[in-house]
Amino acid sequence: MARAMVLLCSLLLLLGATTTHGMGVNWGTQAAQNVNPSVVVQMLKDNNIKKVKLFDSDHWTVKFFAGSGIEVMLGIPNNQLKDLGDHDNAKDWVKQNVSKHMYDGGVNIKYVAVGNEPFLKAYNGSNLKTLLPAMENIQKALNEAGLDHIKVTTPQNADVYESGSGVPSDGNFRKDIRDLMGKIANFLSDNNSMFLVNIYPFLSLYQNPDFPVEFAFFDGGAKPVQDKSISYNNMFDANLDTLYWSLKKAGYPKLKLAVGEIGWPTDGNKKANVKMAQRFYDGFFRKMATNKGTPLYPGYIECYLFSLMDENLKSVAPGEFERHWGIFRYDGQPKYPIDFTGKGNDKMPVGAKNVPYLEHEWCVLDRDKVKNPKDSSIQSNMQYACAMGDCTSLKDGASCDNLDLVHKVSYAYNNYFQINNQDVEACDFKGTAKIVKTNASTDGCFFPIALQNAAGFRVSIATGMSVFAALLTLLILF
């Protein structure tokens, strides 16, 4: 009897040790300059964040999580799926990107997220054939390497399921991918993994002017969606239960669900601001702290916030807000008070420490040289700066939208200058710009200063990305 008790206790301890409750967070690095991973690890620890989801498995980044106690979900980008259809490639991937971190005191890798929203309609089905073989091969390679405690999953956009009438019980996987989603659910279930879905009340509100605002939040007051005996008063519950129904219809009602991305952006659109982000997170954390789950999926739900920091090279194709999802700014400094525990004791989270900035210098329009900022030459300078830099904060309803034209030009000039690591040649604009040492920020409009690039981040990638981002911005501007 005593022995059985001891056994039971150690089993419970073991279970306790392997399920880390609490919030996880997504950390992406599509920025001109990134905070050093060692600083990020400390920042997560300081804020008691115990889980992180990455979008790749860059060795130099991942190794900083060794011994940190932070649980890591590695990512595999969509463009690597095809190669991983080959089992030997999958074995190499596991060897290079997982096994290397598996030593005493190494990295606590719990999941590998294969692909990222691979079935988005915008991808025209290009990942339909490659996702599942890649998942199978990676799991097999993990198992063969003796790492079967690490599970393969795949983060899906909530557009893989739908409900014709809008009530969760009508939910099912999209017709064009229904069979495939069934196979993926089967794989996840057989391998004791989880279904990972990204849920975005903000996007619903942004895309649909008729979307009831209150339904995006958790404060009640929304006209409930009545589904037989269940009454839904927030989109999060309704959406996850639509997934629950889709999985139930596919034959997997017991599959574990987790949320891969959830959050609210703070700039680039009038509905993306600190006030709404704070309201969203307050309600969300309060709800999650109860561990009540949704009506059909009760209990703790593993969630990854989107995201840790702003990323100024992200594509703005989905919207200008895309570069402002961070709970923290690009430099790891907090934007607003928050309480991850859901107890409602909002206070500024702990920012990144010892972040190395470049000089305290800003690039602004030189009023001694420019009489009229409306001149077409100045306007085309500005367009160029914005195409190559990041002017999302100047857009309608964004934080710098209320600046006068002179300051708007300065904003654009400064952004270009900072993204180019304060290269003096990037503050010329045909002799119409000057470098100043007084803070050019105004009330509510923040003029950034670049970070020193962490040594290991490959600048070539950053440059490649910014050209890509610039092309996209150009497409949008013209």
Catalytic residue ranges: 117, 261
- Does the footprint of ligand NAG cover residue 274 (CB under 6 A)? no
- Does the footprint of ligand NAG cover residue 321 (CB under 6 A)? no
| H or E stretch covering 173 | strand 171-173
| Closest among 203, 197, 216 to 259, alpha carbons compared | 197
Q: Which pair of structure tokens corresponds to residue 111?
A: 């999941």
Minimum CB separation of residue 387 from ligand NAG in Å reads: 20
Candidates 123, 176, 179, 377; binder of ligand NAG (CB under 6 A) is 123
Partners of 31 in the β-ladder: none
Minimum CB separation of residue 236 from ligand NAG in Å reads: 29
**Nearest to ligand NAG of 123, 468 (CB atom):** 123
**Nearest to ligand NAG of 151, 287 (CB atom):** 151
Q: What is the rounded distance in angstroms from the CA atom of residue 330 to the CA atom of residue 28?
A: 11
- Does the footprint of ligand NAG cover residue 96 (CB under 6 A)? yes
Minimum CB separation of residue 8 from ligand NAG in Å reads: 26
- Does the footprint of ligand NAG cover residue 93 (CB under 6 A)? yes
Sheet containing 302-305, strands listed edge to edge, beginning at the edge strand earlier in sequence: 151-153, 108-114, 71-76, 51-54, 24-27, 302-305, 256-262, 194-198, 155-157
DSSP for 380-401? HHHHHHHHHS--GGGSTTSTTT
Site string for ligand NAG, 440-459 (x = CB under 6 A): -x----x--x----------
From the number of C-beta atoms within 10 Å of its C-beta (0-12, 13-18, 19+), residue 347 rates as exposed
**Nearest to ligand NAG of 353, 360 (CB atom):** 360
| Closest among 304, 308, 362 to 334, alpha carbons compared | 308
Q: Which DSSP symbol is given to 272?
A: B
- Does the footprint of ligand NAG cover residue 375 (CB under 6 A)? no
Q: Which pair of structure tokens corresponds to residue 265?
A: 């952006």
Site string for ligand NAG, 55-74 (x = CB under 6 A): -xxx----------------
Binding piece for ligand NAG, criterion CB under 6 A, among 308-316, 335-343, 398-406, 439-447 = 439-447
The region, left, alpha or beta by phi > 0 then psi within -120 to 50, assigned to residue 443 is beta
Minimum CB separation of residue 283 from ligand NAG in Å reads: 27
Site string for ligand NAG, 131-170 (x = CB under 6 A): --------x---x---------------------------
From the number of C-beta atoms within 10 Å of its C-beta (0-12, 13-18, 19+), residue 478 rates as exposed
Minimum CB separation of residue 210 from ligand NAG in Å reads: 27
| Closest among 382, 378, 451 to 413, alpha carbons compared | 382
Report how many residues bind ligand NAG under the rule CB under 6 A.
21
**Nearest to ligand NAG of 187, 300 (CB atom):** 187
Minimum CB separation of residue 139 from ligand NAG in Å reads: 6
Considering only residues 97-116, where is the footprint of ligand NAG by CB under 6 A? 97
Considering only residues 163-202, where is the footprint of ligand NAG by CB under 6 A? 186-187, 190-191
442: Cβ contacts below 8 Å, ≥ 6 apart: 403, 407
**Nearest to ligand NAG of 56, 214 (CB atom):** 56
The region, left, alpha or beta by phi > 0 then psi within -120 to 50, assigned to residue 52 is beta
Considering only residues 342-371, where is the footprint of ligand NAG by CB under 6 A? 360
Q: Which DSSP symbol is given to 426?
A: G
Distances 314 to 248, 393, 465 between C-alpha atoms, Å: 36, 14, 8
**Nearest to ligand NAG of 92, 366 (CB atom):** 92
Binding site for ligand NAG (CB under 6 A): 56-58, 92-93, 96-97, 123-124, 126, 139, 143, 186-187, 190-191, 360, 439, 441, 446, 449
